[in-house]
Amino acid sequence: MWGRPLLYERLTWPEVRRAAAEDRVCLIPVGTLEDHGPHLPVDTDDRIITEICRRAAEEAPDEIVLLPTIPHGYDPHHMDFPGPISIGWDTFCRYCKDVGTSLAHHGFKRMLYYNGHGSNQNLVEMAARLVMIDHPNVLAAAAFYLVSKKGIEAVEEIRESSFGGMAHADELETSIYLAIDPDAVAMDKAVDEQSYPAGDNARLEWWADGPLRYMPWWSSFSRTGVQGSPTLATAEKGKRFLEAAVEECVGYVRELLEKPLPERRQPQEGL
């Protein structure tokens, strides 16, 4: 009998073969270690995305096989603050691709990279795309948490910070960490800072970064590492954010399961 949730690293090799034959979605949490203000641990992105994915795997135990979290990501712009472990963009992208390629080699056909660190996102998306290029019958996707339509609606319903005030070590991340492990959060050291040089088209916001995007050294605009209002965070908000993120993740998994596997075909001139 399978464990619930199904944890990839706890399987024997015959069990991996059985799991691959069951047409499950491989859920791959992706995070990083980096500064999150003076009040949150450097494992914030890892801890949050791991918890979301764990709960999603518990919610859909027959549809998911949960991979260990990829703990290190791309964050060279944070290196002025002590703590980040930054992996070169090409190394990180290849690493994520290699994880998916290995899963495809073992017979898994569907996978979701669920990302918890903003600067990873383009690279994780590229990794998923490259997996599908190399394995034409595999469906690999990537998503950042709480940016689906329902996720955004939940965030907007719960948040108290103003627009443009939710980007990093903010009300959302601090609230979620409070819901997961309140003893690890130093709320007496939380400070609000909204210092990104925003404009009509360039801004930092959880789900609505502007169309004009640039990312200078984080220390060039933030003294504390914070971009947002963590003093507004509460564990109750965090619980609701978590619930919304888990619902979103399970929704992505089920959508991937509904989709037909891709199949390369010869182009034709007419239908």
| pLDDT tens digits along 72-82 | 999 999 999 99
Give the range of the structural domain holding residue 155, as residue numbers without chain letter. 6-209+216-258
Residue 213 sits at the vertex; the CA angle it makes with 212 and 218, to the nearest 5 degrees, is 140
Structure tokens at 166: 């939710």
Count of structural domains, the chain = 1
The answer to whether residue 147 sits within a structural domain is: yes
Please tell me the distance from the alpha carbon of residue 168 to that of residue 174, in angstroms, as a whole number. Answer: 9
Q: What is the pLDDT of residue 200?
A: 87
The answer to whether residue 269 sits within a structural domain is: no
| Residue 207, pLDDT above cutoff 90 | no
Query: Facing residues of 113 across strands?
Result: 28, 142
In three-state secondary structure terms, 75 is coil
| pLDDT tens digits along 149-194 | 999 999 999 999 988 779 999 999 999 999 999 999 999 999 999 9
String of DSSP letters for 94-160? HHHHHHHHHHHHTT--EEEEEE--GGGHHHHHHHHHHHHHHSTT-EEEEEETT-SHHHHHHHHHH--
Q: What is the pLDDT of residue 62?
A: 95
| pLDDT tens digits along 17-62 | 999 999 999 999 999 999 999 999 999 999 999 999 999 999 999 9
What's the CATH number where 30 sits?
3.40.50.10310
| Residue 64, pLDDT above cutoff 70 | yes
Residue whose tokens read 């564990």: 235
String of DSSP letters for 186-200? -GGG---B--S---S
The answer to whether residue 85 sits within a structural domain is: yes
Q: What is the pLDDT of residue 271?
A: 75
The answer to whether residue 267 sits within a structural domain is: no
| pLDDT tens digits along 85-126 | 999 999 999 999 999 999 999 999 999 999 999 999 999 999
Do β-strands 64-66 and 139-144 pair in parallel, antiparallel, or remain unpaired? unpaired
Q: What is the pLDDT of residue 3?
A: 63
Q: What is the pLDDT of residue 2?
A: 61
The answer to whether residue 268 sits within a structural domain is: no
The answer to whether residue 270 sits within a structural domain is: no
> What region does 146 belong to: left with phi over 0, alpha with psi -120 to 50, or beta?
left
**How many other C-beta atoms are found inside a 10 Å radius of the C-beta of residue 159?**
21
The answer to whether residue 12 sits within a structural domain is: yes
The answer to whether residue 265 sits within a structural domain is: no
